[in-house]
Structure formats: C-alpha cells, structure tokens
Structure 1
Amino acid sequence: MDSFSYLRAVKCVGVTGAMWLGEKGNIAALSLMAVPALRLSKANDGVSSTSLVKQWRYIYEAGKSQNPPIAAATAAAFIYLAWSVRRIAPRSQIPLYYGSAAVLTLGIVPFTLMVMSPTNNRLIQHSETMSMEGSAAPSRARDDEIDQLIAKWNTLNGVRSLLPLAGGILGLVASLA
C-alpha cells in the first residue's frame, strides 16, 4: 500500500471512529433513544426504579468497556495524521485540525471522570443497593432521586457525545482540505 492510500485509510478510521462515537453513533444513541425509552417504560408501563437503574447500569457498563478504546484508536489515527501532514505541509493548519480532533475525541474520558462521575457513582450505588435489597420497593424519595439522576445523566451524556462529533467534523475538514 503506498503512503497516499495508507493516509486515506487512516483518515477513514479517524473520521468514522469519531463520528460513530459522537452524534452519529454510540454515545448519542444512548441519550437520544435508549435512556428515553427506559424512562418511558417507567412512565407508561410502570417499570420500577429498581429495574430502571439496573438497566441503566447494563448500558453504562457496556459503554464503559467499549467507548474508551475506540476513542483511543480514533485519537491515535488523528495524531498520526497530524504528524504525517506536518511533514508534508509544515505551514498548513491541517496538523492543528487533526491534533484538535484527537483531543476532542479523547475528551470523553476526562469529561466522564470530572463531570459525570458523581452522577454515575450515585446511580451505581443505587443499582448495588437495589440488587442487595431484592424486590423491595424503593422509597418515594429514592425513586425520585433515581429519576432525577437518570435524567441528569442523559443530559450530560448528550453533551459528552458532542466532543467526538466535533473531533470528527474537524478531522473531516482537515481530510477535505
């Protein structure tokens, strides 16, 4: 594979990886479809907060194991592109775009740790408590707190999905320049 074809393949990995993580894929899908469906099942079908928080936990664990490695691979592609293009066009802004795309895509990790952790930890705590208590109905206060936490998580997750989306857009702009 010649270097031009190789760079084209790496561009595809970077842009599609970021877009898949962001608004066109995985992270945003949770806030746009999965969590609203869970909340509707509670409102319309009487699904308990116990079930709701357990389902949220399954979604959370899947995303926690899947998304950071994809973000890292995507960011690595953007970093490689920034380095490669720097040698080809040293006065261009393109390396800056690719570097920024890498930072934005990886931004899901610090955003999760710094902004979302209190909400995540509280929901996890509820999930574990409810698993130990079995089928006992949660108190009204706990039920309300779970609803509020899931709504907050949904909003924060939607904001988080914008980071790789912005990275993907910058990567696409750089790739088309």
Structure 2
Amino acid sequence: MPIDAIKTAQAIGILGCAFTSALTLPAHKPPSSASLIQITPGAPISHITHQWLYIFSRGKQIFPDLAAISSTAHVYLAWADSRESNSVCYALAAAVTMAIVPFTLTVMYPTCRGLENHATRDDAAEVEGKEGMVTSDQEVAKRAREDQEALVLLRRWSGLNAVRALFPLTGAVIGFCAAVCV
C-alpha cells in the first residue's frame, strides 16, 4: 500500500475519533461537590429542554457520519496493514468507535425520549394558540412534577453523554497506538 494512503487514513481515523469525542464532551459538566447540590436553573426548564433538543438533533445529524468516516478509515487500515497485531488494533478501533451508535440507541434512548417529550409537550398548544390558557391546580402540579423529572433526565443525560464520548476517544487512542507501533 502507498505510504501516503496509510498516513492519510491514520490521520482521518485518529483525528476523526478525537474530534467526535471532543465535540461530545463540552455538553458534560465534570462531577464536583458543587454539582451534587440541587441547582435551580435560571431559565424555565421547558426552555432548557428545547435547547437540549436542538443540540441533540444537530448531533444526530453530525456524529454518526463522523464516527462512520473514522471507522471506515480504521477498517481500511486493518485491511491494508500487513502486521497482524496492527490489523487487530485498527479493527478494534473501528468497532469501539461505532459502539457509540448502539449505546445511544439502547442505553440513552429512554432518557433522550423523556427529554424530547418534555421539550415538545407544549408545541401543539402553541400551534393552536392555547399556550396562555388557564390550567387547573392538578395540571400545574403535574407540570411541576414533569419539570423535576426533566431536571433528573438532564443530569442523567449529561453523565451518559460523558460515557458516550469515551467510545470514539478510546477508538482514537487505539488507532494512535497502532499507528506508532513499530
């Protein structure tokens, strides 16, 4: 195989994985003693979940392609590298990177679905022009419970998102180790 093709594939695989991981992580706040305290958000929770939905929707459009491109580069390297140990490492890097998809679709799905439902709960009322309607005490209490549940879901999603970012990061590390292995 031409050396330029190998080096290009290494760069695409490693940097693509690292880029995917880096873009996933900023949404995660590292755990600290301050984050364990119950925090009241400064904006209405419905606004926060709408922001989350926008960011998550953008991520659904971008991250699967980035992971697939990086993994494709690693699969090419697994095929092209004549050293068996490197081929195994590149194949493992591709598999670990693509694990971001089933993790999101299985482990994160219930949390994401709950946040999406919260973010869109008032959309129909806004379309119909009923967003300013007077609600009963029961409805107010129900909405308050839903808001508290949404805060819990946001915190859970933040932790799961940090775990999810580890998949492409691990793929980048494995790909890098295979690239520098002599």
Please confirm whether the aligned pair reaches a TM-score higher than 0.5, indicating the same fold.
yes
Q: Deviations over 1:87-108 (max 9, x none)?
A: x22xx31111100000011111
Taking structure 1 as the reference length, the TM-score comes to: 0.85
Measure how far apart 1:43 and its partner are: 3.3
The alignment status of 1:104 with 2:101, answered yes or no, reads no
Q: Distance in 2 between matches of 1:165 and 1:133?
A: 42
Q: Distance in 2 between matches of 1:175 and 1:133?
A: 55
Root-mean-square deviation over aligned CA pairs: 1.9
Name 2:59's counterpart in structure 1. Answer: 63
Name 1:39's counterpart in structure 2. Answer: none
Q: Distance in 2 between matches of 1:150 and 1:175?
A: 38
Q: Secondary structure at the match of 2:43?
A: coil
Q: Distance in 2 between matches of 1:124 and 1:64?
A: 13
Q: Deviations over 1:6-52 (max 9, x none)?
A: 11011000000001111xx111122149xxxxxxxx836x2001101
**Structure 1: stretches of 5+ with no match in the other structure:** 34-41
Letter in 1 for 2:89: Y
The alignment status of 1:30 with 2:34, answered yes or no, reads no
Q: Distance in 1 between matches of 2:51 and 2:66?
A: 23
Q: Distance in 2 between matches of 1:144 and 1:28?
A: 24
Pairing of 1:12-91 with structure 2 (within 5 A): 12-22=11-21, 25-32=22-29, 43=40, 46-85=42-81, 88-89=82-83
Taking structure 2 as the reference length, the TM-score comes to: 0.83
Q: Secondary structure at the match of 1:129?
A: coil
Q: Distance in 2 between matches of 1:50 and 1:127?
A: 6
Runs of 4+ in 1 over 6 A off after TM superposition: none
Correspondent of 2:124 among 132, 135, 158: 132
Which is greater in Rg? Answer: 2
Name 1:7's counterpart in structure 2. Answer: 6
Which one is further off, 121-130 or 106-115? 121-130
Measure how far apart 1:130 and its partner are: 2.7
Letter in 1 for 2:93: A
Indicate the percent of aligned positions where both proteins have the same amino acid: 29
Q: Secondary structure at the match of 1:6?
A: helix
Name 1:94's counterpart in structure 2. Answer: 86
Q: Deviations over 1:102-146 (max 9, x none)?
A: 001111100001100011111111111132344567722111011
> How many residues are aligned here?
161
Q: Distance in 2 between matches of 1:47 and 1:123?
A: 16
